[in-house]
Amino acid sequence: MSAAPETFAAPTLPTPVAGVRAVDPGAGPDGAAAVRLCRTGEDVPAPADAPSGWIASAGAVAALSPDGSAGPGRWLVGVGAGSAKDWRAAGAAAVRVATGRAEPGPLFGAAEDGPARLHVAPDEAAEPDWAALATGLLLGSHRFSVRSAAPAAPPEVTVEAPAADRPAFERALVLARATAVARDLADTPSGAKSPAWFAEQAVAACAGLDGLTTVVRDEAWLVEQGFGGVLAVGGGSSRPPRFLEISWDPPSGTAGAPVVLVGKGITFDTGGISIKPNAGMADMRTDCSGGAAVVGALATIARLGLGVRVVGLVPLAENHVSGSAYRPGDVVRHYDGRTTEVTNTDAEGRMVLADALGYAVETLAPAVVVDVATLTGAMKVALGVRTGGLFATTDDLAVDLTTAGAATGEAWWRVPLAAEHDGDVDSRLADVRQAPPGPGGIVAALFLHRFVGDVPWAHLDIAGPARCDSPHEEVAKGATGFAARTLVEFVAARTPAP
């Protein structure tokens, strides 16, 4: 007998984040704690009021005693040499420390009740990267929680910024919210996060945005349409799969083939009959990080009003162990008619993506398809936990995605679709085999490539950077929301000039 829904705690979404706004230089509110951002360098002297030995490295904090004229507390926060990464780290450190959410120790100015109020001002020599600072401030305040106590009121942050720099600052805040949405969906524990729950939350995240429509298809529709991969993976769970489609049509009525973004939406992954070791299984609540990034990106694309048609597809399923679970040795028929020989039920992500890719190509006539997924442990081993793997059928597409990531602080490394391994995907029994031998990330990408035909296509493997165990810059422990900002910037770069 399955557990009742009330057995499991669900978060209240969205997670509160800092209210951040720009103000004129010198126009800080009375009664706010003060943060001064300081850069290092041979041309920049150390702050006169800095504690002895303090260096303004990125994210370094010094708490200063109140002097009666600067509000309830004062801090120095370092921005290092001033790279974009440094500014994200500084913004995150400022909002975390000044609200009592990080070390060091007892702090001046932490609010006892009500929201903390923080005023941020760069030193004259700081030369801010305003977009990176905004990203750090907003995402540094994001703390996902399912605690019984109500979350603390999010801090209110004012930032001294010249009028000419505010568009970049404010746009970055919008992009950062894409990441926050993705973190919330990916980090929610899977007891509460069924495929149906994920779809409902995605609909809520997209509600009220003109030009954005959401459709959720159930298991009956999946059977009727022949989504064999999604049905096979979801067949072992008492909570049936779903298929989420989010469509953005610009108000201007821009014509043309859409950009299609496809995200893996495995709401929990036991590995199925090819069961995972216990040590890594608890993190599998974040195996829907690709789908979460697509949801966050679509909502943000609509908020920005980008003049490109975009469709987001998220196949949603739980990969469980039961008498109805799919088996190694099974042959599954996908949406486009191709058949797959199953060799490892823990390679489930490519099974559900294959259906979604085939559906995109056949029904949407896309200009380009980009899928994003926590797909292979091999890619995590190869690239670590701060860089995503990028596979692309054209050089231009690879450059566009890498550039989009660099613009917003998400790193990608292109991995070859090595032709010498393409034959490894062939099956003696079916059209393709699901988990052939060879380099794991590459053969997984080559498997997916079979389902996109000649459409320009890229595959983003985020198995490493989708989760964080060691917080850094604006990234807290847990789901990171990685790829959401890259997808938005990728679409933005394809927007026609006015």
Q: Select which of 21, 166, 276, 386 is catalytic.
A: 276
Residue 110: what are its φ and ψ, rounded to 5°?
-65, 130
Residue 424 — left, alpha, or beta (φ > 0 → left; ψ -120 to 50 → alpha)? Answer: alpha
Is the backbone peptide bond immediately before 104 cis, with ω within 30 degrees of 0? yes
Tokens of 273: 């009959």
What SS3 class is residue 173?
helix
Closest CA to 89 of 18, 137, 21: 137
Task: Write the CB contacts of 404 (distance below 8 Å, at least 6 apart in sequence).
Answer: 486, 487, 489, 490, 492, 493
Closest CA to 251 of 209, 312, 215, 214: 209
Place of tokens 């390679």: 347
Residue 313: beta bridge partners? 245, 262
Cα–Cα distance between 26 and 159 in angstroms, integer?
Answer: 10
Strands 259-263 and 331-333: unpaired
Type of residue numbered 332: V
CB 346 within 8 A of CB 276: yes
Cα–Cα distance between 350 and 441 in angstroms, integer?
Answer: 11
Cα–Cα distance between 136 and 113 in angstroms, integer?
Answer: 24
Cα–Cα distance between 182 and 485 in angstroms, integer?
Answer: 10
CB 447 within 8 A of CB 354: yes
Residue 23: what are its φ and ψ, rounded to 5°?
-135, 165
How many Å separate Cα 213 from the centre of its chain? Answer: 21
Using CB atoms within 10 Å of the CB of residue 70, give its burial: 0 to 12 exposed, 13 to 18 middle, 19+ buried: middle
Q: C-alpha distances in angstroms, 130 versus 74, 77, 176? A: 21, 15, 13
Cα–Cα distance between 378 and 382 in angstroms, integer?
Answer: 6
Residue 285 annotated among the catalytic residues of the structure: no
Instruction: List, as one string, the DSSP characters of 84-149.
Output: HHHHHHHHHHHHHHHTT-SSSSS-TT--SSS--EEEEEE-TT----HHHHHHHHHHHT------SS
Closest CA to 469 of 270, 215, 279: 279
Q: What is the 3-state secondary structure (H, E, C) of 361-411?
A: HHHHCCCEEEEEECCCHHHHHHHCCCEEEEEECCHHHHHHHHHHHHHHCCE
Q: Select which of 96, 350, 380, 485 is catalytic.
A: 350
Residue 350 annotated among the catalytic residues of the structure: yes
CB 355 within 8 A of CB 342: no
- Residues with active-site annotation: 276, 350
